[in-house]
Chain A
């Protein structure tokens, strides 16, 4: 056993250097978040004295959060839209993706190869931004909730991952169900779906995180400010520097510094995913392996 061999000085040095490097790397991931978190809590007075950015605030000042969450409707509206997008969007993604994947996983389905090729082709060639935009425009879905859900309703990539999973289920299961007189819908509902829950849940997580983070679609298809999801609102405030009155925040006499407001909205829009992230991480790791090894 390797363990019985005593580590040499060189090996110990190697371990120490390795740990130091990895700690440094971890800090490089944490410091940006930490500095934005801290900045979101500094008061006007402290910002005047110490500059707009601090690593550790002297005192926690909640003025920016108060302004965004209590004095404005903007964030709550955007949260509602994002929640709708995540819940309804992901549900529809799963319905459309799993029915298609299951149908295409049937080995004896006449015409299956042609149908699979029909979808595969969309993975290597696209119409591009402008024809897609024109289509959406002409379907009249611009400035509706549908515009947040329709693009990317089925991802060919996820579809093929799920189809692979369905194809890996043992055929004997279905055969014995047929012997017992089960019809195809019963087999799907009573056998295939329960057995596939882990795979469907993983794909659902892929879709849900995508919905939470997506901004580009909404930014081109949505003009109505009451339909903007959190990420687009955040982009407007943080990156485009849209003025306060444009963001439906009530006017206040002594507003928090701009950097504090921007930091607070970054935190507000990131916190939910930071909370669920540790729980969903391992699902994703597994899903990524499934997708890459077979594909």
Chain B
């Protein structure tokens, strides 16, 4: 250690101390706290039980693996996440393509402003909107069904509709915001390419297909890889806000299960074990995603 250099820089160390302390306390203590997953802890003992509690090894993990919930929450998490990827990911690309083809700048700006809107709205409002619109008490969708002589449907309580509602509201919320980076990439494409293509008689569709899309491939690949890195995050807040026991079977994801087991049933050790299981898997996914991104593009997120 070069103490002279440390001394010269002491002002900068003073600057970083508060921030570093924050990370130490609020990120590292909980990281260390995961050892309660290997112990039996009663919620009434307080945090000192982390040190005193009895070691039980992998008991809680084994219990989770052997429970009915394991496959249920794992498959729900992955299915909901994959559906979001399958529909949400291309949707932003399509919107960016459509916006890019618009010639009226003012109209383009209006559509963009409107489509970014849901990104700024709280999840609670989005869930509230969904609940109001789907309400059986005259909600918009049911009003339309009734108008066409159909029976109203209790959408949020029906296992067959619940995931679709999550996915549709996800697309609604993210499509506009997701298109920003693609539009930026599109604006960087050499206009000469389009002129040359027009000279060769390519129509708008062929220009899109042969010039615009290849022009944004690098952005698409990077974003896709990182979406895969976040595969175990199926949207905790929205599920928690919208689900009910009647749809647990299709809606319960790892995060909501941890929430119920831990904070509602006070099974701290068990819930921590389930959460730890998820976090370790997620860590490998993220590291793998970054590795892939670096390999393909020489630029990862870090």
Contacts and interface: CB of A to CB of B under 8 A. Distances in A.
Contacts, number: 274
A259 B132 contact: yes
Contacts of A15: 101, 103
A118 B28 CA distance: 9
B283 interface: yes
B102 interface: yes
Given A120-B302, A215-B123, A263-B132, A100 B16 contact: yes
Nearest to B146: A51
Contacts of A130: 33, 36, 258, 262-263, 268, 271-272, 275
Contacts of A100: 15-16, 18-20
Given A129-B262, A133-B263, A99 B98 contact: no
Nearest to A126: B279
A269 B120 CA distance: 12
A102 B28 CA distance: 22
Contact of B184 (A103, A159, A214, A289): A289
B12 A109 contact: yes
A127 B27 contact: yes
A115 B20 CA distance: 8
A202 interface: no
Contacts of B190: none
Given A14-B204, A289-B180, A273 B120 contact: yes
Interface residues of A, number: 100
A51 B138 contact: yes
A8 B198 CA distance: 11
A32 B133 CA distance: 7
Interface in A204-232: 209, 212-216, 220, 231-232
Interface stretch (B64-72, B73-81, B82-90, B108-116): B108-116
A11 B46 contact: no
B16 A135 contact: no
Main secondary structure on A side of the interface with B: helix
Q: Is the interface of B mostly helix, strand, loop or mixed?
A: helix
Given A115-B16, A126-B27, A266-B132, A281 B116 contact: yes
A99 B19 contact: yes
Contacts of A196: none
Interface in B102-128: 102-103, 107, 110-111, 113-118, 120-125, 127-128
Contacts of A214: 122
B143 interface: yes
A131 B71 CA distance: 24
Interface residues of B, number: 96
Nearest to B35: A131
A39 B132 contact: yes
Nearest to B3: A110
A100 B27 CA distance: 16
Contacts of A102: 12, 15
Interface of A: 2, 5, 8, 10-11, 14-15, 18-19, 21-22, 25-26, 28-33, 35-36, 39, 51-53, 55, 95-97, 99-100, 102-104, 106, 108-111, 115, 118-120, 122, 124-135, 137-138, 150-151, 153-154, 156, 159, 183-185, 188, 209, 212-216, 220, 231-232, 234-235, 238-239, 258-259, 262-263, 266, 269-270, 273-274, 277-278, 280-281, 284-285, 288-289, 292, 295
Shortest beta-carbon contacts, A-B, top 6? A127-B30, A100-B19, A131-B33, A128-B275, A103-B16, A213-B122
